[in-house]
Chain A
Amino acid sequence: MDLTHSPAEEEFRARLREWLAKVLPTLPPKPSPDDWPGRRAYDLGWQRMLYDAGYADVHWDASPTMRLIFLEETERAGAPYVGAGFVGLLHAGPTIAAEGTAEQRARWLPPILRGEEVWCQGFSEPDAGSDLAALRTRARRDGDEYVVTGSKIWTSHAEVADWCELLVRTDAEAPKHRGISWLAMPMDTPGVTVRPLRTLAGSTEFAEVFLDEVRVPVANRVGEENDGWRVTMVTLSFERGTAFVGEVVACRRALGEVAREARANGRWDDSVVRRRLGRLNAEFRTLWRLTQWNVSAAESSGGVPGVGGSVFKLRYSRARQELYDVAADVLGPDALDLGRGWVLDRLSSLSYTIAAGTSEIQRNIVGERILGLPKG
């Protein structure tokens, strides 16, 4: 058990810290949440700066420990989050890196790293959410193209995406987990229609995507035909296992701000509030330790994160909601004012126990795949 860093790692941290201090003041102001073109430009611009400074591939090629240092330092400095780059950098990219051919890696990975292309995730459908394998979007083979028809829902960032990691049914006769394929679909192909959906926070975070005879080259398939469920499990293990890790540091920062606010407005004098804040401090400190533990485990075994990500996600998604509930308690009546900080965060935290597999589904995974309990 060792939590110390090597000289090389400490040097990486020091250089990064210095660089952040230099570039962060030069960033343009953050666009408003509903200004999608603005958000796209801002998020990609940040990724480009990382690329030019040699930090772009920290999510993939650097050692997992370097990645944790990167997340700690960028969050602490208040640097932009991956934003529109989420799917590309944190799960589509890693999936292509793990499962794609050499040509596929060469075609798709560099633009993600350079901040040139945005990806979205077309997995869920109106009748296939938790039961993802029940998806019905069809892909009929026509020469060296698939002709895709169906619809997707809750597709985050679809409005500004260039590519979609798309799950389609390539064999309607096969058992439901066997007839699925994983495709990379350009979002500007004729037949793709995006209809924004409004979230309870009032923004258009995600969308419905309608697919009408959309032609996707067979060469865009990652993995074998009808073997897409296996590839999907790789994607989901990145999504649940590593994609949220950086947010823990952000939550710790927010918690400190809530405590400071409580001291300023007098809520700190309420010992119930202090005790809840103290417990949350224990929670987020430990979630970071759990992350270090999981990352060390992955570092020694190499490769794709294991189902332990479900353990992390269950606890993290609940802790995040509790954090913003305490923030609301500290704000008092101001918690009803959408203009106040944390109020939108509180609203968006409600999605954490749903998106990327609900908490109920994660408990099934922990119960069945880690503890070996029988399927229901």
Chain B
Amino acid sequence: MRFQLTEDQRALRDGVRGLLARRFGAEALRAAVDRPGLDRGLWRELGAAGFFSLCLSEAEGGVGLGLPEAVLVFEEAGRALLPGPLVATHLAAGEIPGAATGEVVVTAVGGGGLVEWLDEADVVVGEAGEAVELRSVDPLTPLHRVPGADSSVRPDDLFVLLTAAEQLGTAVRACEAAVQHARTREQFGRPVGAFQAVKHLCAELLVRVEVARAAVYAAAVTADPVDIAAARLLADEAAVRGARDCLQVHGGMGFTWEADVHLCLKRAWVRAERGGSITQSEELLAGELLIEAG
């Protein structure tokens, strides 16, 4: 058992982190908020870097890597708050021509009948005929909703797991931002992070991140539906709760449009819906207790 990142996995993660920092750093994020729309150039660059074809076999023109690698890449996407129907396009690679290279943008009808980036997508997986536009809470995720969509359908496990990986990345970002602010913002003549009420919020942020990381990585290794349900619950918690606590640490600044914190929170909310109903994940995990207990 060597439940740690291998050298190659570390290199992959660092490479993706570097690419995203260059192509979608803090300024690009702000610019995207001001001028919403999918950056096709960036999409193709992601395709060229193997972002969508990572798990395709080499025979199919892919990189032939596994779920753990995909999870590391999507964690970085979540950390960068990279917009777009990334998971849907990744899962369509090999099925829908052009998806793997980033020439074609694919979206899908997800949890609760929500469809992200419908107007910008070239292909929609699922029936989105009557979709109605919503005023999306997340400025970087345009949303439509399909009326009467069957919300009891459990989304595909890979969809849920890669979404959880993105949530983990966003939770990491919220934790880093909170700690950074707590170290530098001074009140009463000292950094606010010296005050326990603030320090303890930051500590709990990290605890949730590490717990979510263990769950997401393990689920990537086992691909077991119950592990994936656990990863989903803990990653949603880490991202949503983490962003709220990060906002609190930022004080009035946290309530502004300029601080990135709201972007973390809103994206985390959107993704929490994408995983299907929370109750379903909890029920799946509860049911397994009876199976295990015999």
Contact = CB atoms under 8 A, between A and B. Distances in A.
Interface of A: 1-5, 9, 65, 68, 255-257, 259-260, 263, 271, 274-275, 277-279, 281-283, 285-287, 289-290, 292-293, 295-297, 299-300, 308, 311, 314-315, 360, 362-364, 366-368, 370-376
B165 interface: no
A275 B283 contact: yes
B177 interface: no
Nearest to A259: B289
Contacts of B215: 282, 285-286, 289
B1 A3 contact: yes
Nearest to A5: B1
A1 B293 contact: no
A299 B1 CA distance: 10
23 contacts: A1-B68, A2-B2, A263-B290, A275-B286, A277-B289, A278-B284, A281-B226, A281-B230, A285-B230, A286-B214, A286-B218, A289-B217, A290-B211, A292-B3, A292-B214, A311-B211, A360-B196, A364-B199, A364-B203, A366-B203, A367-B200, A373-B179, A373-B194
Interface stretch (B4-12, B83-91, B142-150): B4-12
Contacts of B196: 360, 363-364, 376
A278 B282 contact: yes
A2 B1 contact: yes
A86 to B, nearest CB: 25
A194 B164 CA distance: 53
B103 interface: no
Given A281-B289, A285-B215, 13 more contacts: A2-B2, A259-B293, A271-B279, A274-B282, A278-B285, A279-B282, A285-B227, A286-B211, A295-B3, A363-B203, A364-B203, A366-B207, A376-B195
Given A259-B290, A376-B194, A367 B285 contact: no
B95 interface: no
Contacts of A363: 196, 199-200, 203-204
A3 B218 contact: yes
Nearest to B196: A376
Contact of A286 (B206, B220, B230, B290): B230
Contacts of B190: 374
A296 B2 contact: yes
Contacts of A292: 1, 3, 214, 218
A89 B125 CA distance: 57
B229 interface: yes
B275 interface: no
User: What secondary structure prevails in chain A residues at the interface with B?
Assistant: helix
Chain B interface size, as a band, is 35 or more
A1 B220 contact: yes
Contact of B221 (A1, A68, A367): A1
Contacts of A373: 179, 182-183, 191, 193-194, 199, 202
B225 to A, nearest CB: 12
Contacts of A297: 4
Among the interface residues B3, B204, B283, which one has the most CB atoms of the partner chain A within 10 A? B3
Contacts of B233: 279, 282
A256 B3 CA distance: 26
**Chain B contact residues, majority secondary structure:** helix
B210 A1 contact: no
CB-based closest 5 A-B pairs: A278-B282, A256-B293, A278-B286, A282-B230, A278-B285
B203 A367 contact: yes
B293 A286 contact: no
Contact of B214 (A290, A362, A368): A290
A308 B217 CA distance: 17
A375 B199 CA distance: 9
B222 interface: yes
Nearest to B290: A259
Contacts of B279: 271, 275
B211 A315 contact: yes
Contact of B3 (A255, A287, A296, A360): A296
B234 interface: yes
A144 to B, nearest CB: 45
B207 A9 contact: no
A256 B294 CA distance: 9
Contacts of B282: 274-275, 278-279, 282
A157 B9 CA distance: 46
A68 B1 CA distance: 11
B9 A1 contact: yes
A370 B199 CA distance: 11
A293 B214 contact: yes
A369 B204 CA distance: 14
Contacts of B231: 286
Nearest to A290: B214
Nearest to A9: B1
A317 to B, nearest CB: 11
B288 interface: yes
A34 to B, nearest CB: 30
A370 B193 contact: no
Contacts of A260: 289-290, 293
B167 interface: no
B34 interface: no
B285 A279 contact: yes
A271 to B, nearest CB: 7
A365 B195 CA distance: 13
Nearest to B284: A278
Contacts of A275: 279, 282-283, 286
Contacts of B206: 311, 366, 370-371
